[in-house]
Amino acid sequence: MLFNSYAFIFVFFPLVLAGFFLIGWRSARAAAGFLALASLFFYGWWSLEALPLLLGSICMNYWFGLQLTPQDGRTDRGRKRMLILALTVNLALLGVFKYADFFLGNVNEGLAEAGIAPLPLLHVALPIGISFYTFTQIAFLVDAWQGKVHERSFVHYVLFVTYFPHLIAGPVLHHAQMMPQFANPATYRVDTNKLALGLAIFSFGLAKKLLIADRMGEYADMVFHGVQGGTIPTLGSAWFGVLAYTLQIYFDFSGYSDMAVGIALCMGVNLPLNFASPYKSTSIIEFWRRWHISLSTFLRDYLYIPLGGNRKGEARRYLNLFLTMLLGGLWHGAAWTFVLWGALHGAYLTLNHLWVAKVRRHRPPSKWTLPLRWLVTFLCVMVAWVVFRADSMTTAMHIYKGMLGLNGVSMSAFSEFTIPYRKPEFFQTMFLGLFICLALPPTISLQRWVPMVPALAGRPRLSACVTVCTALVTVVLLGLSISRLGTYSPFLYFQF
């Protein structure tokens, strides 16, 4: 069940919302249980065969969390052994389902060179959302071991892990952000301000996905699939194809995140910020403070800092930074293209930090260099997106050659592909996407209106103007988006 489907928008979400508040009026605990069951139904709709794995993971990690909590009679050494066991089991499950065939495939290449018969591949289907709910629970286990977990409700834990707005493609949740909200009785009461703003944010996210991301995806797919099939991209086609994917992945993923935030806000829950206009960044350091913020925070807190962070010397700091991004790339998928994407961003961040420390010496940058810094950052991000999108290193190399002009220069972009008659739509959508990315505030800034609503009570004209304008834009975007419903168009991050 996709957020951008008739079944979700007109059946599932309205029924869940109504049931949540009706039950919550009588019992907050019962409403939390209802929402947990609805979330499990949502997941089971996607993949019924993967539901037992999710339930088993929840029960196992809840038990581990109880055992890891500091108590009288439990030694630190024993709890540390339990933590190692818990992390090993979780990472082993993730490894088997996500990386086993990748590992075996690479081993088989070496065996083939040695003339040895290959090992059989497992061909295990990847359970949807396993990367997200595994990371969410790993953070919970580490915090339980550190004595930071105080919530003991099994119902709230199940809801924390399975909460359907985030379950399939994030954001990566932290128990400290979510558990207090689930324990707050006010969460289970209708808040009309949050409901209205939640619907507005959801509509903006839906429009990002259907009106921009999917249209850009047609051209990105045309170029990358064409190259995969043997078409050689020229200079213009390669650059425009990569730009199309650059816009597609941002509007697709940030659109999903906006929709998740909007859905949760309708139910009185605030999800963490996941995007903050990342393509406005003027450095790679800044980009990673704005892009997929929940994953960046997880990698910093549970990988970079445990590796030593910046506490063990400058050389170790840069090594830790590179390794963190390398593993962050591998988290996205079992392929060398994702490893290279992580390595590129690891190298980018290392060079950026070296530049700040050694050349700029931590002085603030000149405002006159801002356009150049933005351009260099944006181009670096685009270059890395090539391997992230490509199905193989061969495809990526052909795209890179095209971007360097080594495959020739055509006066007409996309002339070597099959749908040049749709170029006007491409350029219109491209310019609209760039304008939204670079000139407008992020959709999530609408949340700032929630605490301001009471302050507008004494200014009825301003309040009415804000309400009417937001409502009109929401209705228009929702209408345009609904007109494009009906085709199967999953979000890109569902595959991770």
The residues annotated with a catalytic role in the active site are: 332
E-only strand ranges, 165-303: none
In angstroms, the CA 334 to CA 96 distance is: 11
CA atoms within 13 A on the CB side of 462: 9
CB neighbourhood size of 342 (10 A): 24
Tell me whether the omega of the peptide bond preceding residue 120 falls within 30 degrees of 0, making it cis. no
E-only strand ranges, 177-241: none
Who contacts 412 (Cβ-Cβ below 8 Å, separation ≥6)? 236, 420
H helix or E strand, kind and range, residue 56: helix 51-68
Contact (CB, 8 A) for 384 and 344: yes
In Å, how far from its chain's centre is CA 172? 8
Handedness of CA 406, 408, 412, 413 (dihedral sign): negative
Query: What proportions of the chain, in percent to the nearest 5, are helix, strand and coil?
Result: 75, 0, 25
Of 265, 270, 263, 312, nearest to 294 (Cα)? Answer: 270
H helix or E strand, kind and range, residue 109: helix 76-113
In angstroms, the CA 50 to CA 24 distance is: 29
In angstroms, the CA 71 to CA 267 distance is: 35
In angstroms, the CA 132 to CA 493 distance is: 10
Q: List the helix and strand counts (H, then E) for the chain.
A: 21, 0
In Å, how far from its chain's centre is CA 201? 17
In angstroms, the CA 488 to CA 479 distance is: 18
Tokens of 43: 């997941």
Contact (CB, 8 A) for 418 and 222: yes
Contact (CB, 8 A) for 121 and 105: yes
Of 488, 442, 423, 383, nearest to 251 (Cα)? Answer: 442
